Amino acid sequence: MTSPRAAAAPSARDLLRSGQFQALSDRLEAMPDAELAETPPDCLEAGLTWLLEQSRFKAAQALYARAHRLQMAVAVPKGYAQRLAALGRAPEAVALLTQWAEYRDKTAADWAKQVLALQTMRFDDAAQALCRQARARFPKNDALALSEVVVSFRLGDPGPARDLLAALSARRDAPYWIHAMLRALQSGEIDAMGLSLRVPPDLVSPRILISLARGLYEVHERNSLLADLRPGDRVLELGTGLGAMACWAGQTQRDVPFVTIEANPALAPLIAENFRRNACKARAISGVAALRDGESAFHIEGDFWASSQVTTSDTATRRTLPNVNIPALMQDFAPTIMVVDIEGAEVDLIPELPLQSLRRLIIEMHPQFTPLTGCAKVWRRLLEAGFYPQQAKGSEKVVIWDRIQTSETGPET
């Protein structure tokens, strides 16, 4: 009598879908090279991330080295480098980023990604050196030129950055946004993406100016909001930034009530000015988005968009700021749409919120700041509450959650 055939072991994809991250990482470590080479990139990234979250750096390094040797499509190892830097191993972190993808010829985009990773981690000297090395190979690449602009400003060396922008603007084929960027640096104002915005250099970094001038600032969140904004909607935004989202909503549906929350107190006068410039009637509240009244620690970065409750950066300024009680606000305001971009704090906030009035949530996830288990907690809560996810077009992080229409909920209005 033969024994029943054993059930097939779950695949890496099955383990990822079911949130079994430890089993996934164990499976990846045990795979022979031929099987590992066929593993989907998102499964490999999830397994590497889990190893790093468990501080299993040697195991992560061995798996990463195998992926390199097999010429697998692995992303810039920014998460790994961030953890090395947090442990005081900055030289290793820089070396990892600067040597990334050496198993193949790098494109200009590959170089730009490495430079951006170094900039994000504030390894500005290394970023500048790598950027100049890359520009020697790709002298006409705009992304690399603009990366050098950003890092030069951050190193307190604006002269070369302005000279480089001026040289780019003098080219016959220079795009409009190069000129818009130059004007913004000179005047502290920019007309971009249909808005007139005040962008003072002490608050708005060159990187944000570039994204505005190129029409990329919060573009995924904006498109996801405006695509289905209707009369009768009520919008709640967590993470105001420059106030652009409220202004865009006001241009599309002028009478839709819009409430927006921003923790960074330095941005409050700027938001008010940008609302005035664009005849925006939204209500802006200053405070930390929280589950209850009181106060919370908030970490303010030089690039305001990177400020967060959960940041691990040693360059941030820690402030204790008043809370905005989001559950109470939602009960009172009853939003139908919610836009959330709060740099990692979403994993603690969203699972505890009253969601009954909402028909759509637009959430930018931040896996670089939060554990995979936290992201999974958000997904479970929203799925259980009757929402269906779809990735925002062109974005890896922005997810649109629409409430599933059932006979119990009735037709949407």
More confident position, 392 or 412: 392
On whether residue 167 sits in a domain, the answer given is no
On whether residue 200 sits in a domain, the answer given is no
Q: Is the dihedral of CA 220, 362, 308, 74 positive or negative?
A: negative
**308-322, 349-363, 384-398: which range is least confident on average?**
308-322
% of the chain surpassing 90 pLDDT: 38
On whether residue 385 sits in a domain, the answer given is yes
Domain stops at, among 74, 96, 124: 74
On whether residue 180 sits in a domain, the answer given is no
356 C-beta neighbours (distance < 10 Å), count: 11
In terms of residue numbers, what domain contains 273? 219-403
As a whole number of angstroms, the distance between CA 171 and CA 238 comes to: 40
Q: What is the pLDDT of residues 380-408, one digit of tens each?
A: 999 999 999 998 887 778 999 999 976 55
Bridge partners, residue 290, by sequence: 325
At 401, give phi and psi (nearest 5°).
-115, 115
The CB-based long-range contact list for 314-318 (8 Å cut-off, 24+ gap) reads 315/122
Domain stops at, among 49, 74, 99: 74
| Among the listed residues 160, 108, 100, the one whose alpha carbon sits nearest the alpha carbon of residue 139 | 108
Within its chain, how far is the Cα of 270 from the centroid?
Answer: 22
**49-63, 74-88, 256-270, 299-313: which range is least confident on average?**
74-88
Residue 48 and residue 40 in contact, taking contact as beta carbons nearer than 8 Å: no
Domain with residue 331: its CATH number is: 3.40.50.150
pLDDT band at 60 (very low <50, low <70, confident <90, very high): confident
Domain stops at, among 56, 74, 92: 74
Number of domains in the chain: 2
Question: Is pLDDT above 60 for 6?
Answer: no
The 3-state DSSP class for residue 264 equals coil
On whether residue 122 sits in a domain, the answer given is no
As a whole number of angstroms, the distance between CA 287 and CA 378 comes to: 23
Question: Is pLDDT above 50 for 240?
Answer: yes
Angle at 354 between CA 255 and CA 275, to 5 degrees: 30
As a whole number of angstroms, the distance between CA 96 and CA 61 comes to: 10
pLDDT of 189: 94
Residue 208 and residue 308 in contact, taking contact as beta carbons nearer than 8 Å: no
On whether residue 176 sits in a domain, the answer given is no
On whether residue 354 sits in a domain, the answer given is yes
Name the burial class of residue 223, with classes exposed (0-12), middle (13-18) and buried (19+) by CB atoms within 10 angstroms of its CB.
Answer: middle
At 324, give phi and psi (nearest 5°).
-110, 120
Q: Is the dihedral of CA 368, 119, 315, 342 positive or negative?
A: negative
pTM greater than 0.85 (yes/no): no
| DSSP E strand boundaries for 61-160 | none
Question: Is pLDDT above 90 for 329?
Answer: yes
In the numeric block, the tokens 């700041």 are attached to 369
As a whole number of angstroms, the distance between CA 30 and CA 11 comes to: 13
Q: What is the pLDDT of residues 83-103, one digit of tens each?
A: 677 667 777 777 777 765 454
pLDDT of 4: 45
Mean pLDDT of 323-333: 96
pLDDT of 233: 97
CA dihedral 293, 366, 379, 35 (to 10 degrees): -160
pLDDT band at 126 (very low <50, low <70, confident <90, very high): confident
On whether residue 326 sits in a domain, the answer given is yes
109 C-beta neighbours (distance < 10 Å), count: 12
Pairing of strands 195-198, 189-192: antiparallel
pLDDT of 15: 87
Residue 114 and residue 100 in contact, taking contact as beta carbons nearer than 8 Å: yes
pLDDT band at 260 (very low <50, low <70, confident <90, very high): very high
As a whole number of angstroms, the distance between CA 154 and CA 266 comes to: 20
As a whole number of angstroms, the distance between CA 372 and CA 21 comes to: 8
pLDDT band at 194 (very low <50, low <70, confident <90, very high): very high
Mean pLDDT of the chain: 83
Residue 142 and residue 125 in contact, taking contact as beta carbons nearer than 8 Å: no
pLDDT band at 282 (very low <50, low <70, confident <90, very high): very high
pLDDT band at 256 (very low <50, low <70, confident <90, very high): very high
pLDDT of 161: 76
As a whole number of angstroms, the distance between CA 242 and CA 248 comes to: 12
The 3-state DSSP class for residue 285 equals strand
